[in-house]
Chains A and B, each alone.
Chain A
Amino acid sequence: MATQKDLDHITKDDALDMLRRMIRIRRFEEKLSVLFKRGKLPGFVHLYTGEEAIAVGACSALRDDDRITSTHRGHGHLIAKGALVNRMMAELFGRVDGYCRGKGGSMHIVSFELGIIGTNGIVGGGIPIGTGSAWADSHLGRDNVTIVFFGDGASNQGVFFESMNIASVWKLPVIFVCENNGYTEWTPTAELTAGNIVDRSAPMGIPGEAVDGNDVVAMRLAVERAVSRARAGDGPTLIEAQSYRWNGHNEGEEAFAGAYRPDAEQAEWRERDPIVAFGERLVSAGWMTRDEWDAVDADELGSVDAAVEFAEQSPFPDADEALLHLFAGDSEGVR
């Protein structure tokens, strides 16, 4: 656990913004869980509850023009990078005001304007893509960096090793952030994964750092160190953030998954709620009162409710839009 002294490294404004974004993610995901149970959402969703500190800590170390690639569990990364909950919710409802005009859905919400190069339904799929944006930025002489978010499951995909290798030999400004939430889908990660994921960087000649993924400040400081190296042309970093997925792999899994996680384990991690931990530090530091904290929470709850209203009022796209957007320069779409 990081010390209170870590707060010396961030400003009060930054800290309050980070807490707000973590709360926004939590309330957004909780709302989706309810909407899913009520049958309001087409398709299915993978929720980020419990892991908020990773996305928010990491993205708070980035500039607006830096980039990320994300995963099937991507809502948290999007919100942390500045995505609007209204447009995210509209996308989840398949509506025309969604970021992708309803073509992407939960696993493919992207906003290129915000530097989100892609979210991904394929485990590990975004790792080469983010390595590639880092390559382009480096080749073109820019100093942008890319964070590649991926899970413990993706750490066993070939592209993870391949991408670390090429990022190392080409010294690319990419930060590999592995979110180890303990479970590869429904199987304990330890049963499927040799050694420690963070140790996989050393043979590639890449610095590796294990971080408490429930500590948003520790996460931010680790990513700041990696960003400094990347911007200075010193190449990639691997960060393994240990955390826990409060919800299942996907909502609705109780229909088939069974009780695969011990109750005590779940309770223990909920005790370590990253939002409560950070909020209490801010209160102790005198940067926020409990009333102000409650007000932020109420505000974010309200904006999530408003996002649902926005999404429900947004029309579905015209059905013929299904034939658009395949190729650039083809305004008439597919025949």
Chain B
Amino acid sequence: MNAQSTTTDRSIYFIEAMREGLRGMLTEDENVVVIGEDVGRSVIGATRGLVDDFGPMRVRNTPISEATFVGMCVGAAAVGLRPVVDLMVGSFFYVAMDQLADQAAKLRYMSGGQVTLPIVYFTASGPSGSAAAQHSENPHPMLMNVAGLKIVMPSTPYDAKGLMVSAVRDNNPVVYFQDFVLGGTRGVVPEELYSIPLGVGDIKRHGTDVTVVAIGAAVPKALRVAEVMEKEGVSVEVVDPRTLVPMDYDLILESVTRTGKLVVVDNARLTCSAASEIVATITERGFDLLTSAPQRVAWADVPVPFSPPLEERVVISDSDIVSAIRAVLA
């Protein structure tokens, strides 16, 4: 399922790939519904046009009541719907945190496994250029700490479609992050429906000197840096976990077994980031494999500021990744 299709080299935008995944799922299962604020119109684009094909009951606009429609999906999923929610912006999870963290994530567990909750919560997230603090969040690290939510964060259009299909087919609450800046990136995506299993990472570039684990929008940055460093004679392997819960630690460990060096790049604040968790786990499980101290690359521990030079100071840059690679190689 991981192999690129040989039947087409059609290139489409990331956001279109998400939409194709959604369209495929709406077609495959009539219990799938897509809801959210202005999903008919679709500001970000993932649901654009779906209402024309599936109607306003299956692609349904909600009031601006995030807590309530996030929670409604719990009751709806418990009795047979497969709701897919467009949260629009990552920070809006905070508005709905009780319903997400205390209800959706916990109900199956608290009930001793009596209920099955097939729900997808997807959102655009992360810095996109002067969107300021409340429209630039990437809340995946704190949601990783809420047991009961699967979390996916694709980095390519191919993965975006395949992971959307798996997320909707999964019988659990899945949070799907689309890094804002990836929405307009292009890539080869087969027209047919395919799925990428949750919990299976992907080596985006093979290398021998250092393992760079990159998440979401950090992946294209890491690939760009790898090209540059190749010219300096440094061979960088780029590992994309694709799914943060469950995390494919085996793939990362296998890579570190070959390189002995680890850098983790996370498009999120540093403290308790996914990068922190990956470094901790690999250090525990593979301390003897490491020949130098691992490095994390993440945002400064402040909200993302508005003014362009301030934002640039806070978020991850190519040069941050280069510095971290140099540090683990030193």
Is there contact, CB below 8 Å, between A159 and B81?
no
CB contact between A327 and one of B31, B68, B114, B150 (< 8 Å): that residue: B150
- Closest Cβ of chain A to B93, distance in Å, is 15
The winner among B79, B81, B107 for most chain A CB atoms within 10 A is: B79
Which one of A17-25, A128-136, A289-297, A299-307 contacts B? A128-136
Residues of B contacting A92 with CB < 8 Å? none
Interface string of B52-75 (1 = CB under 8 A from A): 000001000011010111111111
Residue in contact with A139 in the complex, picked from B33, B65, B148, B150, CB distance below 8 Å: B33
Contacts A118-B103, A159-B67 given: A324-B81 contact, CB under 8 Å? Answer: no
Total A residues in contact with B, Cβ cutoff 8 Å = 49
Contacts of A159 in B (CB 8 A): 65, 67-68, 71, 99
- Which single member of B31, B62, B79, B171 contacts A328 (CB below 8 Å)? B171
A residues within 8 A CB of B309?
none
Residues of chain A from 46 to 101 with CB closer than 8 A to chain B in the complex: 67, 69, 98-101
A125-B98, A132-B77, A135-B72 are known; give 4 further A-B pairs, CB within 8 A.
A128-B71, A163-B65, A325-B112, A327-B108
Partner of B110, one of A100, A111, A133, A158: A100
Q: A328 to B116, Cβ gap below 8 A?
A: yes
- Chain A 155-177 against B: per-residue CB contact (8 Å), 1 yes, 0 no? 00011001101100100000000
- Could you list 25 A-B pairs, sorted by A, with CB under 8 Å? A99-B111, A103-B111, A108-B110, A117-B79, A118-B78, A128-B67, A129-B74, A129-B103, A131-B68, A131-B72, A132-B75, A136-B77, A136-B80, A139-B33, A158-B67, A162-B65, A165-B63, A166-B62, A166-B68, A324-B113, A325-B112, A325-B113, A327-B150, A328-B108, A329-B171
* B159 nearest CB across to chain A (Å): 21
Measured between C-beta atoms, what is the minimum distance from A251 to chain B in Å?
21
Q: Which of A93-144 contact B (CB under 8 A)?
A: 98-104, 108, 110-113, 117-118, 120-122, 125, 127-137, 139-140, 144
Q: Give the nearest-CB partner of B105 in chain A.
A: A326
Residues of B within 8 A of A276 (CB): none
- Which B-chain residue is minimally distant from A110 (CB atoms)? B111
- Cα distance, A132 to B74, chains bound together (Å): 7
Hey, what's the 0/1 contact readout for A188-212 against B, CB within 8 Å counting as 1?
Answer: 0000000000000000000000000
Binding site for B on A (CB under 8 A): 67, 69, 98-104, 108, 110-113, 117-118, 120-122, 125, 127-137, 139-140, 144, 146, 158-159, 162-163, 165-166, 169, 324-329, 334
A139 and B108 in contact, given A169-B63, A328-B172 (Cβ under 8 angstroms): no
Q: Provide the residues of chain A in CB contact with B98, threshold 8 Å.
A: 122, 125
Residue of A144, A159, A165, A166 with most chain B CB atoms under a 10 A cut-off: A159
| B102 in contact with A132 (CB, 8 Å) | no
Closest chain B CB from A6 CB (angstroms)? 32
Contact digits for B141-180, partner A, Cβ 8 Å, 1 yes 0 no = 0000001101000000000000000000011100000000
**Count of B residues near A, CB < 8 Å?**
43
Q: CB distance B75 to A133 under 8 Å?
A: yes
Give the most central of B72, B80, B81, B102: most A CB within 10 Å. Answer: B72
Q: Is the CB of A132 within 8 A of B72?
A: yes
Cβ-defined contact, A104 with B112, below 8 A: yes
Within the complex, which residue of B68, B81, B112 is in contact with A140, where a contact is CB–CB below 8 Å? Answer: B81
